[in-house]
Amino acid sequence: MALRSLSAVTPALRVCNSRAFSSIPRGAQQAARRTTTLTAKPFARSSARFYATEPGTGKSGSGGATWLLLGVAVAAIGGGYYVYSSPQDAETLAKSGKQAAKAAVGKTPKLEDYQQVYNKVAQLLDEAGDYDDGSYGPVLVRLAWHASGTYDKETNTGGSNYATMRFNPEALHGANNGLAIARGVLEPLKKEFSWISYGDLWTLAGVAAIQEAGGPKVPWRAGRIDGFEKDVTPDGRLPDAAQGGDHLRNIFYRMGFNDQEIVALAGAHALGRCHVDRSGFEGPWTFSPTSFTNEFYNLLLNEKWQWRKWNGPKQLEDKKTKSLMMLPTDYALIQDKSFKKTVQAYAADESLFFKDFSAAFARLLELGVPTSQWVTSTPWELKTLSEQTEKK
Ligand code: HEM
């Protein structure tokens, strides 16, 4: 994948370069992982580079592969599109994830096979070099969430089942800007483990990213199948960060979540950052954007937040260091009484947050997948890399 210098792109992008961040080795960041004090912890930052394979360039990150779905649907990748010779219902082609995998490689993959994929994802997280804060983890979590968060419980459409973000109509939805990077990072794994569906690969990568960042175990199981362009859902199903609490409720109630689950899921913003060239917003939520902690809630509650004066969308900055940000939707979580109660609970008790996040994220990743497709009735627990080395 080609890299190009950010500074050469637009004046708007240079704005984000002008904000000074101190730089420390990533190992030191990791050491600071579990710290919950509000002392400003410096973190490495290099947003001076990004991938040129954005959806809008006509190249999604999924170029080159051809694969077979039950010998009927041939998917040719080119310009981000898959062209099928016979665009039938994915469900009529493959009744289950097990059947699809068996047709692809003549075997039924087991937990050990998925653990191998997990391990490969875990290894590549840190191969990010100077991409963002040195990890692909956050953008992989965002991919897993956006692939699943299109679900509508009324019409039972959307969700992680058909991995429809491979298709340009969905890849080009504004909310998905930048996710070509995450899809591109995972594409070599799809080639190596051709039996895994894209939906399984993307969601499993999200689980690996959470667990490897020090987050909770997220129960996960296989069974998603690859669908067609016609399964793409309309634009506008993912949340708009410029809005408030009512909007959050509309979006997440539509997926079947309640207020407590909305707050738990939003805690994923402990990870990663906003990018001017993707969402228009800029900056990280926490001082340790590659570690999964309850810091998002602590900072939201305890820092003084003010509207940032800048030539960009309305966002908040912390008064003290001006290096952290909150989106209007994040801020809505402390403006609403019901949400705020849960924010306080998670700020006070990280293990409660971990438990609730794990349950809500696991459910999010399963949205839209018919029960009959799962390869196992009880979800699995994938082992972290360090758990596996400890055992040796
Ligand atoms: C509550 C409604 C939500 C809104 C409005 C929202 C909005 C956003 C926005 C605007 C970005 C910045 C994208 C960019 O510029 O790169 C972002 C990043 C991110 N979001 Fe959310 N999000 C929401 C919920 C969630 C949920 C439920 C999760 C996961 C469970 C999540 C995980 C992430 C992660 C990990 C990033 C960082 C990505 C990176 O560093 O590349 N978000 N979100």
How does pLDDT run across 261-293, given as a tens digit for each residue? Answer: 999 999 999 999 999 999 999 999 999 999 999
Please work out whether the CB of residue 140 comes within 6 Å of at least one atom of ligand 1.
Answer: no
Rg (alpha carbons) of the chain, rounded to whole number: 20
- The rounded Å distance from CA 294 to ligand 1 centre is 15
Q: Residue 372 above 60 pLDDT?
A: yes
The crossing angle, in degrees rounded to 10, of helices 328-335 and 259-266 is: 130
- Ligand 1: does its nearest atom lie under 6 Å from the Cβ of 141? yes
From 67, 285, 374, 380, the catalytic residue: 285
Find out whether the beta carbon of 265 lies less than 6 Å from any atom of ligand 1: yes
180 CB within 6 A, ligand 1? no
Total Cβ atoms within 10 A of residue 145 = 20
Backbone dihedral region for residue 159 (phi beyond 0: left; psi -120 to 50: alpha; all else: beta): left
Topology of 1-392 in CATH? Answer: Peroxidase; domain 1 (1.10.520)
In whole numbers, what is the pLDDT of the chain averaged over residues?
A: 81
**In which band, very low, low, confident or very high, does the pLDDT at 94 lie, cut at 50, 70 and 90?**
low
pTM: 0.81
The CB of 266 under 6 Å from ligand 1? The reply is yes
CA distance 350 to 336: 21
Check 146, 173, 269, 275 and give the catalytic one: 146
Atom of ligand 1 at shortest range from CA of 329 = 5
Closest by CA position to 175, among listed 277, 255, 278: 278
Amino acid 108: pLDDT: 83
Nearest CA to ligand 1 atom 13: 274
Ligand 1 neighbour 220 (Cβ under 6 A) = no
- Could you read off the pLDDT of 171-184 as tens digits, one per residue? 999 999 999 999 99
Q: What are phi and psi of 220, to 5 degrees?
A: -145, 145
From CA 347, how far away is CA 357, in angstroms rounded?
A: 13
The dihedral through the CA atoms of 296, 302, 307, 309 has a sign that is negative
Mutate to test the pocket of ligand 1, among 145, 290, 364 (most ligand atoms within 8 A of CB): 145
Q: Which two tokens stand for residue 110?
A: 């087991």
Measured CA to CA, the distance from residue 303 to residue 312 in angstroms comes to 22
146 tagged catalytic: yes
Residue 51 has pLDDT above 60, yes or no: no
* Ligand 1 centre distance from Cα of residue 90 (Å): 29
Q: Which tops the pLDDT comparison, 103 or 357?
A: 357
Phi, psi of 206 (to 5 degrees): -65, -40
The residue with tokens 């019409």 is 155
Nearest CA to ligand 1 atom 17: 274
**Residues forming a β-bridge with 69:** 73
Spatial separation of the C-alpha atoms in residues 55 and 250, rounded to whole Å: 27
The Cα–Cα gap between 6 and 13 comes to 7
- What integer is the mean pLDDT of 82-111? 61
User: Which ligand 1 atom minimizes the distance to the CA of 251?
Assistant: 2
Q: Is the pLDDT of residue 79 over 50?
A: no
The burial of 349, by beta-carbon neighbours within 10 Å (0-12 exposed, 13-18 middle, 19 or more buried), is given as middle
Average pLDDT score over residue span 303-320: 98
Identify the pLDDT of residue 90.
57
Q: Is any ligand 1 atom within 6 A of the Cβ of residue 93?
A: no
pLDDT at residue 54 is higher than 90:
no
Q: Among 142, 148, 160, which is best to mutate for testing ligand 1, by the most ligand atoms less than 8 A from CB?
A: 142
- Indicate if 310 belongs to the active site: no
Asked if residue 249 has pLDDT above 70, the reply is yes
Q: 328: which 2 tokens?
A: 């209007």
Q: Is the pLDDT of residue 73 over 60?
A: no
Main-chain dihedrals φ then ψ at residue 316, nearest 5 degrees: -100, 155
Rounded mean pLDDT of 332-353?
Answer: 98
Atom 40, ligand 1: residue with shortest CA distance: 272
Please count the other Cβ atoms lying within 10 Å of the Cβ belonging to residue 168: 18
Helix 328-335, helix 245-255: angle, nearest 10: 100
Share of the chain above pLDDT 90, in %: 71
Write out the H or E segment, with its range, that includes residue 74: strand 73-78
| Separation of alpha carbons 87 and 232, rounded Å | 13
How sure is the predictor about 390, in pLDDT bands with cuts at 50, 70 and 90? confident
Tokens of 344: 């306080």
Contact 133, 45 (CB under 8 A): yes
Kind of pairing between the strands at 81-83 and 273-274: unpaired
Query: What is the token pair recorded at 347?
Result: 């700020």
Burial code (b: 16+ CB inside 10 Å, e: under 16) for 217-256 equals bbbbbbbbbbbbbebbbeeebbbebeeebebbbebbebbe
